[in-house]
Amino acid sequence: MLMPLHLGGQTEPNRTDMALSTLLASFLCTVVLPVLLFLVAVKLWEVYMIRGGDPSCPSPLPPGSMGLPFIGETLQLVLQRRKFLRMKREKYGYIYRTHLFGSPTVRVSGAENIRHILLGEHRLVSAQWPSSVRTILGVDTLSNMHGSQHKTKKKAILRAFSREALELYIPVIQEEVQTAVKSWLVQDPCVLVYPEMKRLMFRLAMRILLGFDLERIRTDEQQLVEAFEEMTRNLFSLPIDVPFSGLYRGLRARNFIHSKIEENIKMKVEESDKGSKHTDALQQLIDSSKKNGEPFSMQAIKESATELLFGGHETTASTATSLIMFLGLNTEVVNKLRQELWDKGENGMDLQSLNIESLEQLKYTSCVIKETLRMNPPVPGGFRVALKTFELNGYQIPKGWNVIYSICDTHDVAEIFPNKDDFQPERFLTEPSADSSRFQYVPFGGGSRMCVGKEFAKVLLKIFLVEVVTKCDWTLLNGPPTIKTGPTVYPVDNLPTKFSSYMKNH
């Protein structure tokens, strides 16, 4: 008798195998395949960008990596800043390629290398900041102009930073700094130095550079400071203008700033027509426009004013914060500063009523500022674009690629500065030869685009030091801070500091 064939024992294992096969296939499709495709896309992107070099040039592209498709390495730079840059330099050397803010980029450091870039303006390279910076600040700014337009605008602005103009600014600077120092001495338990410096330098820029009167500053200061913070935070962002993106937020803040500046410009034009005289930088630009017979462009003046406000307070706030930090960590330098000031005072210098001549006599004070700018240059570098393919130290820089010259990296590797990690203002008491130091120390940039406000910054910072060291003792409550860049150098913890009154004979 035939027994019926029973297959029940095989059914369950088969179903299990099928389920496992389905799960494996699903895993491969949802996880492994996308990862493989992503890695392939990254590799193809890298190959594509490398092929973007100039085949007619025999020199290779600089070493480096191009990061993720389209995004490049922008996110790593934004999140890590100096750590990212240091890691890149240690891995690839003084010249390397990357992809930042939507463009293939070569980053350059070292005195000889940046000499070629800074002196190659209009011949090898041209100034061109990232798209987000150009969009937010505008096309009519000094940093985005070229040729005769750049020369004309630079000449107008330089009149506002002439020796005669700086002499007029000194009482205003001293008044504002004295007021700020008094407020720090009564704040308890601590002062957040970086926000305080930004507020102080913003007020000075509003009064001296844009000619705002005190009443208007009091009315608009807080809103303008907050708007400027927002604009500055988003200057270097991906060039994507959609709601809540960095560029969108930066533009919205910029528009508010422009509305307040426009109100002030209209008042200045009315007062100028009535014969009132103003000596601020903004007035110089308005007068220059009239003298050259150019049609008055409110948009151009607003963009220039915004650039002045950014350049005139963001960088000085950064350096003033660094001064408090370095001096708080090096009390022997504070004592030497005080000794210089007391010696000058005994020889007739009036520290309560400074002028250009007396400030020029403060040699050690000047050295302290120079050493601070060496160790913490407020602006880490500058942006250019290659006008043609050219060779630099054995590598090709393809036409159309962005070129960033690095100030901070160049200072880090400068051969003329021994013991680079030590704060030693004395190193500047003996000036190195111009040939050896010209491009090893470039806190204000170089070439035809050297910072137009550098003399204003030096005067302001000297007055700041005179007031602080003669009126205050201070202690950094958190010790040495972590330093970041965004877009200027700043302490992550805002440098909480306890100020107390200094008595000469205590």
- Separation between Cα atoms, residue 435 and residue 270, nearest integer Å: 50
* Rg over CA atoms, the chain: 28
pLDDT for 48: 54
Q: Judging by beta carbons within 10 Å of its beta carbon (0-12, 13-18, 19+), is residue 464 exposed, middle or buried?
A: buried
The H or E element containing residue 327 is helix 298-329
- Separation between Cα atoms, residue 491 and residue 483, nearest integer Å: 5
Kindly report the length of the chain. 506
Where in the sequence is the domain holding 410, given as residue range(s)? 132-501
- Asked if residue 494 belongs to a domain, the reply is yes
Return phi, psi of residue 98, to 5°: -160, -170
How many helices and strands in the chain, by DSSP H and E?
19, 12
In angstroms, what CA-CA distances link 214 with 174, 241, 500? 15, 36, 28
- Asked if residue 433 belongs to a domain, the reply is yes
DSSP annotation of 414 reads -
Amino acid identity at 146: H
The H or E element containing residue 410 is helix 407-413
Q: Which of 361, 264, 343 is nearest to 309 (CA)?
A: 264
Q: Which of 199, 209, 384 is nearest to 304 (CA)?
A: 209
Q: Which of 227, 221, 313, 293 is nearest to 264 (CA)?
A: 221
- Asked if residue 67 belongs to a domain, the reply is no
- Asked if residue 262 belongs to a domain, the reply is yes
CB 61 within 8 A of CB 396: yes
Could you tell me the CATH number of the domain that includes residue 258? 1.10.630.10
CB 104 within 8 A of CB 97: yes
Instruction: Tell me how many degrees the CA angle 472-473-474 measures, rounded to the nearest 5.
Output: 115
DSSP annotation of 53 reads S
Return phi, psi of residue 354, to 5°: -75, 160
> CB count, 10 Å around CB of 396?
21
- Asked if residue 458 belongs to a domain, the reply is yes
| pLDDT tens per residue across span 324-356 | 999 999 999 999 999 999 999 888 788 888 999
DSSP annotation of 117 reads H
* Helix intervals (H) in 205-245: 214-233
- Asked if residue 15 belongs to a domain, the reply is no
Beta 125-127 vs 381-386: how paired, if at all?
antiparallel
- Separation between Cα atoms, residue 96 and residue 409, nearest integer Å: 13
List the chain pLDDT tens, one digit each, 506 residues. Answer: 444 444 444 556 666 767 666 766 666 667 656 666 555 555 555 555 555 677 888 899 999 988 887 788 888 887 777 788 888 989 999 999 999 888 899 999 999 999 999 999 889 999 888 888 889 988 878 888 888 888 888 888 888 888 988 998 999 999 999 999 999 999 878 999 999 999 999 999 988 888 887 777 777 888 888 898 899 888 888 888 888 889 999 999 999 999 988 888 888 777 776 666 667 778 877 777 777 677 778 888 888 888 888 888 889 999 999 999 999 999 999 999 999 999 998 887 888 889 999 999 999 999 999 999 999 999 988 999 999 999 999 999 999 999 999 999 999 999 899 999 999 999 999 876 666 568 999 999 988 888 888 999 999 999 999 999 999 999 999 999 998 887 889 999 999 999 999 877 54
Those residues with Cβ within 8 angstroms of residue 263's Cβ, 6 or more apart along the chain or in another chain: none
Measured N-to-C along each axis, helices 246-273 and 214-233 cross at an angle, to the nearest 10 degrees, of: 150
Q: What is the DSSP string of 60-83?
A: PPPSB---BTTTBTHHHHHHHTHH
Residue 57 annotated as binding site:
no
- Asked if residue 62 belongs to a domain, the reply is no
Amino acid identity at 160: A
pLDDT for 422: 95
The H or E element containing residue 383 is strand 381-386
pLDDT for 11: 56
Q: Which of 47, 5, 62 is nearest to 386 (CA)?
A: 62
As a dihedral over the C-alpha atoms of residue 205, residue 207, residue 212, residue 217, rounded to 10 degrees, the angle is: 80
- Asked if residue 191 belongs to a domain, the reply is yes
Tokens of 462: 């000297």
Per the structure, how many domains does the chain have?
Answer: 1
Q: Considering the entire predicted model, what is its pTM?
A: 0.85
- Separation between Cα atoms, residue 259 and residue 253, nearest integer Å: 10
